[in-house]
Chains A and B, each alone.
Chain A
Amino acid sequence: MTEQGAVMPEKILEVRDLVTQVATSTGPKTVVDGLSFDLHRGETLCIAGESGSGKSMTSLSIMGLLPQPMAKVAGGKVLLRGDDLLKLPERAMRDIRGNKIAMIFQEPMTSLNPVLTIGRQLGEAISTHDPMPGSKVRSRALAVLKQVRISEPEKRLKQYPHELSGGMRQRVMIAMALACNPDVLIADEPTTALDVTIQAQILGLMRDLQRDTGTAIILITHDMGVVAEMADRVIVMNQGKAVESGSVTDVFEAPADPYTRGLLAAVPRLGAMTGIDGPASTNGNALVRGMARPLVTVRDLTVRFDIRGGLLQRVQKRVHAVENVSFDIFPGETLSIVGESGCGKSTTGRALMNLLPWQGEVVIDGKEIDAQSRLQTKSVRRNVQMIFQDPYASLDPRMTVGELVAEPLVIHGLAHGSELQDRVEYLFNRVGLPVDAAKRHPHEFSGGQRQRVCIARALSLSPKVIIADESVSALDVSVQAQVLELLGELQAESGISYLFISHDMAVVEQISHRVAVMYMGQVVEIGPRRAVFENPQHPYTKKLMSAVPIPDPRKRREHFSLITGEIPSPVHGLDYQPDYADLTQIGAQHFVARSAIKSAA
């Protein structure tokens, strides 16, 4: 690093030639390979990389928290103000953890102990390093909770983790990490599991806290948008090695390493499609709909779940998951549903598959679907297939992928013998998998390949619509780009329609013809993609767009003030009458809810 000002901030952490190995059945595998970096006071260093790059292993190595006995540090130094942490005995290391170096993790849902109150867990972090009487611990805990700007901090102390939302839990994690004013805060994917508006709030909070306390932050993330938003300096890791490091502007504007260039190119960017009508796969051509009749018509779709209780297990409350949702999907079209967790987007998809009870009217390819009847669903299901989020969990681990892809054809009695074989081979070719892969089991494939298997399975019945529920969300960006490309090709080739359910605005922008924004179980805005993205009208749509971090350090937001609040609960009493958002047309096929839904803005 070059001397930029007169005074260089104090160097706090120095990592030299760190090597971490994991034991495998074929001998030790090096997951961090000779990594070196410095961290200065008040600085944010981002370690970016895809899954398996060794970024999380780096943080666990520094903390001495590697999973025992599988992983161990095999070489190098980690110097905290000159002391080598790797040489410290466990007892001395305990005084460092949480005190000098604190850590927050990806999953706020599982990172807090479910059976202990927030106050207890927070108090413990304080009193371990600074023994003090209980009343002082409590007031200190309250003070840090206020510092992380959690609502009603006194009440939170007495609550259990499951009573808090994901965003609040991550605030508690941050409070716990900052309780002892550490020199270094390691944040491992701190916002990956959170909704985009909550992510913006947490990132803003971390930035403010850093300004106040001068804590140095190591931020580990796969999201280049978050990197651009937060980093002073960036290290890009690939397969255990740092392939690129430098200031954030240098890395984004003049990436030297081909891997970094590829990674940045694959990142979907919100606003990349400005001025273009159709999705990326069609070279930007809008769908010529002509006189086509909609393939799927949904009218007043409503899904409510009963919550029972009391002596006779009567219905006491209801979850209003989806309320009066209406839309059409035309042949060859991609309609995306975007929204945050709990908005009802996945429930909508599942209702179309008849996977849960619903009310309303659904017509698929001219046939009205009877919400009650299970008999006709088989023939209807042929026309609608689904790809789920987690390709690991949605493939039976005991079947070969060939059997998995063939199964729908067998169930529907469409092919057998050599014909079945040919059909499966064709499908494997179609999704870009080698034919001999059919004999292998799901665990032998990577995440992207597994998602290809899921796509092949969905395609096997030649459906007219595929419902893709967060189908690329669990994939690394480079793999995500390939899968999105495959979906685009399939559409161009066969004219299949997609209902693409996603929380990721940038991906949605890339793939959609039309977009529906859902909030609290209702569609608040629907229209052609270009209209919705370039001229968003509903306050919630605007809020969603502004919350997305842009992978460009020059477009960094100074303030996140626009984004506050959390989504209210969809659970209501029996006499609750939903406040329907009537859609008003404001442009060509562009509809917006005028009666703004409560607290959307």
Chain B
Amino acid sequence: MIAYILRRVLQAALILLGVSVVTYALLYMLPADPARQIAGRSATAETVANIREQLGLNLPFYEQYLRYLGNLLQGDFGRSYLQKTEVGELIAARLPATLLLMAGAIFCELLLGLTAGAIGAIKRNTSVDRTLMVVSFVGVSAPQFVVGILMLYLFAVVLGWFPIGGYGTFSHLVLPSVSMGFLGAGWYSRMMRSSMLDVLRQDYVRTARAKGLGRARVFFVHAFPNALLPIIAMIGIDIGMFMSGIVVVESVFGWPGIGQLAWQAIQRVDIPIIMGVTLVSACAIVLGNLLADLVVPLIDPRIKLR
């Protein structure tokens, strides 16, 4: 178990290293010139050259990268040229909001998705099942900004149940979480339905019924945990999908998280912030997967971590 976690963390470090090289290289190739950005439009060529010298931007690519990596290993994400602030500070200030939104979204998508999927499986080929699957199909197909804006219009503007945007109270959290969870709920309901149908066909479910157990017990004790197993691995992968959704949903709802930070940074080509956010996202994905892999053996005793 400990050996397993150590090995996975080691792998994670390698993945993050790879991500940092690729992102750094991509950003290096951008035609934007940070020195010119910092100096401003009216600066002389000499000033720009000075700044370039100062920041080490005229060094070869690998030297720049190694410098960056060296700082990174000491926990220094660098400094935003435009906001004149430490990137680490910016991310740290915004991370809690994003984590909160992610937790809300995961809760929504699991609650909606698993329930809809399980009901669909139990009532398979009925009108209930078909309706749920059509809704889930809409969830899968509709772009998040469309869902977000529609929800915003209906529940905030027309009905006035929730605030239009912002951050702070529970009611601020509801609409962004649901808009983000809606897409995932579509996926999970379909996965849960087929997983549950598969489990309901298994011999051990028949055994459970042959013992004379009631429907609820057969369902919750025997079928549900087994149906959940393939879904858990999915949740780990899903965290990666969230990062792209977060950029959209945070902008729609004015949610002050790292998604918005990333969006602003991309518009202004604020390279250190883009680097930082990318690395934090990669960390989240790697951690999410590791966490999912660690949870599975808690439910499935057949899986041993080696």
Contacts and interface: CB of A to CB of B under 8 A. Distances in A.
B209 A97 contact: yes
Interface stretch (A105-113, A224-232, A274-282, A369-377): A105-113
B6 A102 contact: no
A487 B306 CA distance: 46
Contacts of A176: 207, 211
Given A113-B222, A311-B6, A128 B203 contact: no
A114 B204 contact: yes
A113 B206 CA distance: 10
A489 interface: no
Interface string B201-228: 0111011111111100100011001100
B211 A65 contact: no
B168 interface: no
B206 A111 contact: yes
B201 to A, nearest CB: 8
Interface in B257-306: 299-302, 306
Interface in A84-119: 94-99, 102-103, 105, 107, 110-116
* Most chain A CB atoms below 10 A, which of B207, B225, B302, B306: B207
A312 B3 CA distance: 8
A508 to B, nearest CB: 30
Contact of A94 (B7, B212, B229, B306): B212
A128 B213 contact: yes
A134 interface: no
B221 A116 contact: yes
Given A105-B203, A110-B204, A115 B212 contact: no
B203 to A, nearest CB: 4
Contacts of B217: 124, 128
A104 to B, nearest CB: 9
Interface string B70-96: 000000000000000000000000000
A173 B207 contact: yes
B101 to A, nearest CB: 32
Contacts of B221: 116, 124
B269 to A, nearest CB: 42
A485 B227 CA distance: 46
B203 A162 contact: no
Interface string A272-315: 00000000000000000000000000000000000011111100
Interface string A424-459: 000000000000000000000000000000000000
A63 interface: yes
A550 interface: no
A219 to B, nearest CB: 16
Interface in A507-559: none
A162 B301 CA distance: 8
Given A94-B212, A95-B212, A116 B302 contact: no
Given A160-B301, A308-B306, A113 B226 contact: yes
Nearest to B299: A115
A467 B206 CA distance: 37
Interface in A108-159: 110-116, 124-125, 128-129
Contacts of B225: 115
Contacts of A125: 211-212
Contacts of A99: 212
Given A308-B306, A311-B6, A114 B211 contact: no
A115 B226 CA distance: 7
B202 A128 contact: no
A597 to B, nearest CB: 29
Contacts of B207: 105, 111-113, 173, 176
B56 to A, nearest CB: 38
Given A160-B301, A308-B306, A110 B211 contact: no
10 contacts: A97-B209, A97-B211, A102-B210, A105-B203, A111-B207, A113-B207, A113-B222, A124-B217, A129-B212, A310-B3
Interface of A: 63, 65, 94-99, 102-103, 105, 107, 110-116, 124-125, 128-129, 160, 162, 173, 176, 308-313
Q: Which 6 A-B pairs have the closest CB atoms?
A: A98-B212, A97-B212, A98-B211, A309-B306, A110-B203, A113-B204
Given A124-B211, A128-B217, 18 more contacts: A63-B210, A94-B212, A94-B214, A97-B210, A105-B203, A111-B206, A113-B204, A113-B207, A113-B226, A114-B300, A115-B229, A115-B299, A124-B213, A128-B213, A308-B306, A309-B3, A310-B3, A311-B6
